[in-house]
Structure 1
Amino acid sequence: MPHSHHSHSGQFCKHASGRLEEVVLEAIRQGFEVYGLTEHMPRYRTEDLYPEEAKMAVEELATQFDAFIDEAHRLKKRYEMKIALLIGLETEYIADSDLDALDVLLKRLGPRVEYVVGSVHHVNGFPIDFDYDTFRKSVESVSRDTSTEEQAQERFLSVYLDAQYRLFQRFHPEIVGHFDLCRLYTPDLVFSDYPSVAEKVERNVRYTIEYGALFEVNAAAFRKKWDTPYPGRDIVEVILKHGGRFALSDDSHGPHAVGLNYHRLAEYLRAVGVSELWYLQRCETPNSAGRNVRPVRVDGEWWKHTFWNGRVAQ
């Protein structure tokens, strides 16, 4: 303890800040023992660039990602006596071609990508976490044949969960990234209000548990004005019901956000009854995806680790 499996830096992500080494140094300063470096995989179409990337060519994203891998491995070696750095990537699934490109990328980089954070940030080509107006365009784009807002929401959630399931099936990501990002702008939404959607939630949860994934508890939701991290209480209940396992992530977007709101994250986990935490560790035996990492359970009562002193009630 403590750990984070999901992070970004302004050096390699235009909507983050700071250099990657600054992120690592802040994690060391705070006493992190395991810290995952996971920039977004490249996007490959001009229409998928974000406004802050408008002056970039898509080829630059691929070059930038390779530079991230090089720098991450340099830092891994340089600070190996102070922190265990894990080097991974966060997925993008905008079109089916992205999955094909990811397959090529993972084969090319081989063991240099140690693990994968499986995330979906788009529905029907629209980013669902950029701003509210774009989120609404996404909902409307998959729901033009529906007659009510409830039907539109149900269709949107279904498309999101189906994309998530296809991603899980194809790549077996070791970390499930912000499972319920689809309700970023509707935090009070309850999946069980939509029976067909609730079935897909159960399907996705069961599948990832079967192949051995960890579900990240992602503190970034607090920065987005949520009262909980991702996933919300109803999803945590489903995961616990099926015997799922949880890992910590700050999803930092620069050194200022390393470990941010971890005290609230810990209080939440205690409140919802998560008695075990897990983290990833390098190993010699390949996992179901062919990558050499495995989940390891935190010994004892995780909330009694000295990291939490003064952060959460014991």
Structure 2
Amino acid sequence: MPYSFHSHSGQFCKHGYGLLEDVVKEAVRKGFHTYGLSEHMPRYIDAELYPEEIEAHCTPKTLEATYDDFQLEARRIRDAYKDKIHLLIGAEIEFITPDYAHHVQQLRETYGIEYIVGSLHHAYSIPIDFSPDMFQQALEQADGQLERLFIQYFDEQYLMLQSVQPEVIGHFDLIRLFADQSVADATLLLPNVWKRIVRNLDWVVAYGGLFEINSRSWKKGLRDAYPQRDIIQAILQKGGKFTLSDDCHGPKDVGLYYHKLPVYLKEVGIHTLYYLAREKGETVVKKHDNVLDDVFWRKIESWE
């Protein structure tokens, strides 16, 4: 009974590839039970555009139009494939400034968004996962101190979590992507960083959000999926809930590195997962016990 709640396509995302419908077709082919469509929300000022968007002559207005087009296409696709797969339509959000709390609420009201992937891609309003150079710019804002940058990231994340209460927490510790891996995990465990991580975890556990195990980190060469295993252990101790996400950016990414998940889940002690579903017009959380016994994992061997 596989699922993923974090996905993109080249049709609606400049750093993705392929058509949204082809992403869904691949999810059907690979036997996914539920798949979440979560294209990026718009950004609202020119200074927040990524280099690839500037090169493509995008503007905040065209990003808004693109997200509107996504919602229309996602609804068409869901109707066309309703007998083959359960699709939920959501958004991966930004929280570059506190004003984004208002923007997210507007999206919820305008589109009846079924779930939010709460991600933080910036610190000091600088992208921290786009390129090593931009990560370095953010690090310079923290006076070159990785600990200070991590503190800033988790403080901004906390504001996002409080303001939005996303159903799914996207790549909780994304800040470690371009950090020196020899020190990143140790920095996460420093007292002033760790207490902020614990604070953020406590908030999510209290309102019932799902922490995604995001397998895309393996494509980036990291040892662990997001979040890393020390954070996973803290979530488990607090009774937090996990789900799965491939963070797909195109058809070939569907189920990306899912073949590594059974061993990884066993190593970190996760035997129960949770997933989102729609019932009577509402998004609800469902429990998936004995996840390692699911026949899905054996089917992965037949994927091409």
TM-score by length of 1: 0.91
Change in CA separation of 1:284 and 1:210 when aligned onto 2, cut-off 3 Å = farther
Aligned: 1:297 with 2:277:
no
Partner of 1:222: 218
Q: Does residue 78 in structure 1 map to residue 67 in structure 2?
A: no
- CA distance in 1: counterparts of 2:236 and 2:273, whole angstroms: 12
| Partner residue in 1 for 2:23 | 23
CA contact (8 A) 1:44 1:98 kept: no
Report the aligned-residue RMSD: 1.4
Match of 2:296 in 1: 307
Map of 2:149 onto structure 1: 156
User: Is the Cα contact below 8 Å between 2:126 and 2:138 reproduced in 1?
Assistant: yes
Inter-partner Cα distance in structure 2 for 1:135 and 1:276: 35
* Gap change, CA 1:2 and 1:310, over 3 Å in 2: closer
Counterpart residue number, 1:288: none
State the alpha-carbon separation in 2 of the partners of residues 246 and 309 from structure 1: 21
Q: Which amino acid aligns with 2:62?
A: E
State how 1:101-180 maps to structure 2 within 5 Å. Answer: 101-109=103-111, 111=112, 113-141=113-141, 143-144=142-143, 149=144, 152-180=145-173
The residue matched to 1:96 in structure 2 has which SS?
A: coil
One-letter code aligned to 1:306: V
**Residue 271 (structure 2) pairs with residue 278 (structure 1):** no
Among residues 244, 252, 258, which one is paired with 2:254 in the alignment? 258
Q: Deviations over 1:221-273 (max 9, x none)?
A: 01111122111111101101101111000000000100010011222111111
CA shift, 1:51, in A, is: 1.4
2:101 corresponds to which residue?
99
In structure 1, how many angstroms separate the alpha carbons of the residues matched to 2:190 and 2:292?
Answer: 35
| % identical aligned pairs | 44
Deviation at 1:105, TM superposition (A): 2.0
Q: Contact 2:10/2:16 (CA < 8 Å) preserved in 1? A: yes
SS at match of 2:39: strand
Report the equivalent of 1:68.
Answer: 70
Structure 1: how far apart are the matches of 2:200 and 2:26? Answer: 34
Say which SS state the counterpart of residue 89 (structure 2) adopts.
strand
Number of residues of Structure 1 aligned to a counterpart in Structure 2 = 296
The Cα shift of 1:166 comes to 1.1
Shift of 1:99: 2.3
1:34 corresponds to: 34
Distance, in Å, in 2 between the alignment partners of 1:192 and 1:184 is 12
How far is 1:310 from its partner?
A: 6.2
Contact in 2 for aligned 1:222/1:228 (Cα 8 Å)? yes
Partner amino acid for 2:100? D
Q: More deviation in 180-189 or 205-214?
A: 180-189
**Alpha-carbon distance in 2 for matches of 1:35, 1:49:** 28
Q: Secondary structure at the match of 1:56?
A: coil
**How far apart are the structure 2 equivalents of 1:193 and 1:75?**
44
The answer to whether the 8 Å contact 2:150/2:188 transfers is no
Q: Which residue type is aligned with residue 66 of structure 1?
A: D
Quick check: 1:196 aligned with 2:165? no
Aligned to 1:14: 14
Q: Which runs of 5+ in 1 are unaligned?
A: 286-291
Could you say what secondary structure the match of 2:90 adopts? strand
The answer as to whether partners of 1:7 and 1:37 remain within 8 angstroms in 2 is: yes
